Amino acid sequence: MKKSLIALAVLSASSVAFAASNVTLYGVVDASAVVSKAGGQDTTVSMNSGFRNGSRWGIRGVEELGNGYAVGFILEQGYNMDTGNENTAGKQFSRESKLYVQGNFGQLGFGRLGSLAGGAQSNNMLTGWALGTSYGGGSWTSIARNSGTRLDNAIAYVSPEFGGLKVSAMYSNGVVADDNGKKWSDNTHYYGIGAQYTLGGFKNSLIFEAVDNKGQADAGYSLAKSDKTAYLINLGLGYDFGTWTPMFAYQYNWQDEGVKANIFGLSAAVKLGGGTAKLGARYAFGKNDGALEGAEDKLRVWTLNAAYEYPLSKRTTAWVYGGYADGSKGLKKEYTKHMKASDAVNYNGFQFAVGMTHNF
């Protein structure tokens, strides 16, 4: 009797351990001190959360169904570690809330998802810029902000990999929560398709995205107030030579009655002194067809960015960053000083930061 009870206890303990192994708690704590001067505004010094990697905690799990099929989920919440507040008011899992099924056909996912070129979350395909979408003004972001980084009411398909090539498609029936309950024609919809080639040292991608801005005077993705469809193309190229990885990135975005802009970027990640140095130079030019009458409609800006990341352990990284941006035409100081500092720093000013990132 005692042996049976012992065996049952061991079996029960093993079952609990097995079930728990399919669910993982994870997260990032990112803190830094940032000195900024943007768009003619005063120089500021602040404690920052998520300057390099967004502070977050999350739960992910997967259940094997057999025959190569599985069902999984990702629930991820962003927060500001300097205040403890959630970073998106009213959302319990602001970064990602995803349920998916996968098999030999690829993966099909639903929920609140990161866009294909948004630079974050499990469906991200963006390549070609060493600093990614991190480091404030050094982030690879659209001047026109035509594509939202996270989308409510989304569905995404990722194909199996064929000789290093993978194709993704994504659609959102209502980009933001306010779209819930509206008829289809009044929602703002997102459409995206992309291809990524990863083989050997190559990591390349080509992504097309569109946001139709239906029924809105200003969807928040453009410098101009317009309900016209906004389009975005991103090309990213890179090759890992082992000690260094040179990269090239290009973006074209356009919108009727809004911004039309080209962005070129050259960057590299270099292994140096036990850590990694990341260097990037970027130039953007374009035109804002939605500029006010008599205002400058041409846009020019170039940026220089550098970061150094040193691993203190497998989970903790210390880092420093410096960036400078010089805007001209419609992005010079007398225009950008009226923007929020978080926007203006991308166009005219400088940033220096030192911080630490811990992963758990």
Domain chopping of the chain, boundaries: 24-359
Is the confidence at residue 328, as pLDDT, over 60?
Answer: yes
CA angle 88-345-356, nearest 5°?
A: 65
Choice among 7-16, 174-183, 310-319 with the minimum mean pLDDT: 7-16
Choice among 46-55, 146-155, 341-350 with the minimum mean pLDDT: 341-350
For residue 305, the cross-strand partners are 280, 323
Ranked by mean pLDDT, the top range of 37-41, 55-59, 87-91, 331-335 is 55-59
Choice among 125-139, 170-184, 203-217, 289-303 with the minimum mean pLDDT: 170-184
pLDDT at position 210, please? 93
Assign 340 a pLDDT band (cuts: 50, 70, 90).
low
Q: Are 142 and 118 spatial neighbours (Cβ–Cβ below 8 Å)?
A: no
Is the confidence at residue 282, as pLDDT, over 50?
Answer: yes
Is the confidence at residue 261, as pLDDT, over 50?
Answer: yes
Choice among 75-84, 307-316, 333-342 with the minimum mean pLDDT: 333-342
d(CA 311, CA 299): 39
Helix (H, G, I), strand (E, B) or coil at 303: strand
d(CA 196, CA 166): 5
Residue with the two structure tokens 């998106």: 88
d(CA 251, CA 265): 9
Nearest Cα to Cα of residue 302 among 279, 280, 284 = 284
89: which DSSP letter?
T
Note the CATH architecture for domain 24-359.
Answer: Beta Barrel (2.40)
d(CA 270, CA 336): 33
Assign 17 a pLDDT band (cuts: 50, 70, 90).
very low
d(CA 263, CA 280): 13
Q: Which two tokens stand for residue 68?
A: 């190569």
pTM over 0.95: no
Share of the chain above pLDDT 90, in %: 65
pLDDT at position 292, please? 78
How far is CA 36 from its chain centroid? 22
pLDDT at position 296, please? 87
